[in-house]
Amino acid sequence: MMMLIAFVSVTLWQTSLGRILLYPFTILATWFHEFGHGLAALLTGNAFHQLLIFPDGSGLAFAGGRTGANRLTQALIPAGGLFGPPIAGALLIIASRSREATQGGLNLLGILLIASTAIWVRTLVGWLILPAMGAIILVIAHRASPAVQRLAIQLLGVQAVISVWAQLDYLFMSEATVAGEVRRSDSAAIADALFAPYWFWGAAISVASFALLWWSLKVAMRR
């Protein structure tokens, strides 16, 4: 089923109508990425100030703030955004193996979408789409049949996987334009904090992301 979902999704992305239909998943993928930055900041003892999502699907997370943070911490915050979608996708895909994990995964995702919007999101697109998706996910978790719940969590996981594929070019950029402003890419921010050029970190994160996703698919399809 997951392979079919992936095939249909990739096919739809090639059409204008398909991109419109899948637009909420574009916003969700951006949320995974930006929330990953914020979560990494919180886990390293820093602050997560706000999360912006723009109509074109780009986004920004304003995180950090602790003075004197070491270089590893400075690298972990941008890395958190790059690993956000593959980690989320892998966890959702693996959760589809059992009904209890599926319900738990849907409940957690729905609550996080609604709560994070209330606490951190500061743009109209985010306010309109993220809580609506969260509410729909929670309804599915509590009202839908096990088959529909499993389909839903696989669909969400696959969309996160596809977003990793979609961000490949970003991993190999030193700069990117977000909301009309040129900014250092996450790969470049990691390189600035540690060592080696940005493309080295882009390649390393690409390999790690796809290895993680391949492993999650193997686990999910294991009898």
| pLDDT at site 40 | 94
126 vs 178: which has the higher pLDDT: 126
Q: What is the mean pLDDT of the chain?
A: 90
**Measured distance CA(173)–CA(58) in Å, rounded:** 15
Residue 34 token pair = 């930006």
pLDDT digits (tens, 9 = 90+) for 100-133: 999 999 999 999 999 999 999 999 999 999 999 9
The answer to whether position 195 is within a domain reads yes
Number of domains in the chain: 1
The answer to whether position 177 is within a domain reads no
140 vs 16: which has the higher pLDDT: 140
**Of 164, 166, 38, 31, nearest in space to 109 by CA:** 31
Local confidence band at 43 (pLDDT 50, 70, 90 cut-offs): very high
As a whole number, mean pLDDT of residues 90-97 equals 93
111 vs 65: which has the higher pLDDT: 111
Look up the domain containing 188 and give its range.
2-9+23-45+69-172+182-221
Q: How far is CA 21 from CA 17, 138, 146, in A?
A: 6, 21, 25
The answer to whether position 137 is within a domain reads yes
| pTM for this model (two decimals) | 0.92
Above pLDDT 70, what percent of the chain? Answer: 96
Query: Angle at CA 205, nearest 5°, toward 59 and 15?
Result: 55
**Measured distance CA(44)–CA(57) in Å, rounded:** 27
As a whole number, mean pLDDT of residues 41-49 equals 92
**Measured distance CA(90)–CA(197) in Å, rounded:** 28
Residue 146 has pLDDT above 90, yes or no: yes
The answer to whether position 126 is within a domain reads yes
The answer to whether position 147 is within a domain reads yes
Local confidence band at 163 (pLDDT 50, 70, 90 cut-offs): confident
Do 66 and 46 form a contact (C-beta atoms < 8 A)? yes
As a whole number, mean pLDDT of residues 53-76 equals 84
As a whole number, mean pLDDT of residues 195-200 equals 93
